[in-house]
Amino acid sequence: MKPSMITICLHLLLWFLAGSFLLLPVKTFADDQVHLSTKPKLSNVIPHDQPTQLTFHFTNKKGNPIKNARVRYRLHHPSGNPLFSTDFPLVENKTMIEGETLITNGTLQFSETLPIRGTYTATFHVRPTNPKDPSFQSFSQTNHFTIHEKPTKVMKGSTLFMGLVLLGAVAGIIIGRGHKRSVLP
């Protein structure tokens, strides 16, 4: 039995697609040129609690700090969730900070109170002040970092949920026993 022309074309298309994925560049962690550090640690940041010092470190491919660069930056709030409120819907999916600055020591620093939980997006466009500077090439990068919900809010929500489940179970037992008694003669 001979394969049809359609089968041959589909096989060729699949082989082409599989081969093209192998040729795509793979971005590894070593390629990252913007790294974030925070004070307090990111895992200890509580939304709408205290100012957080965000420090973005810009490095070239060799890991050395980039000096004399023009940085265009944008920090974007997370989008909301239709099921769980962030308690601050006015800032959901909005730009928090945007601007352009000159960095001389390889760092850009902000001190901000992060108002809501979720995944924030920081976008950077970096270019040398001197276009003939060989230490690095212009690049753009987007970083994401996540702020978790307030621990007290999680505890209170969990307690409320468990209380409602317990109340439902008790009510079901009471109603079920009452139903059994009314069926018996």
Give the model confidence (pLDDT) of 106-115 as tens digits: 999 989 888 8
Mean of all residue pLDDT scores within the chain:
79
The token duo for 56 is: 């973005």
Is residue 29 a part of any domain in this protein? yes
Domain count, the chain: 1
Is residue 185 a part of any domain in this protein? no
DSSP code per residue over 148-170: PPPHHHHHHHHHHHHHHHHHHHH
Is residue 15 a part of any domain in this protein? no
Instruction: Single out the residue of 97, 109, 103 nearest to residue 53, CA to CA.
Output: 109
Is residue 178 a part of any domain in this protein? no
Is residue 89 a part of any domain in this protein? yes
pLDDT value at residue 10: 61
pLDDT value at residue 131: 78
Distance CA 163, CA 83 (A): 20
* Each residue's pLDDT tens digit, 18-71: 554 444 443 333 455 899 889 988 888 888 788 899 999 999 888 889 888 999
- For residue 157, pLDDT beyond 80: yes
| More reliable by pLDDT, 150 or 20 | 150
**Could you list the residue range(s) of the whole structural domain that residue 75 is in?**
23-172
- For residue 77, pLDDT beyond 90: no
| CATH number of residue 27's parent domain | 2.60.40.1930
Q: Read off the pTM.
A: 0.65
Is residue 72 a part of any domain in this protein? yes
Distance CA 56, CA 38 (A): 9
Q: Label residues 106-116 b or e (16+ Cβ within 10 Å = b).
A: bebeeeeebbb
pLDDT value at residue 92: 76
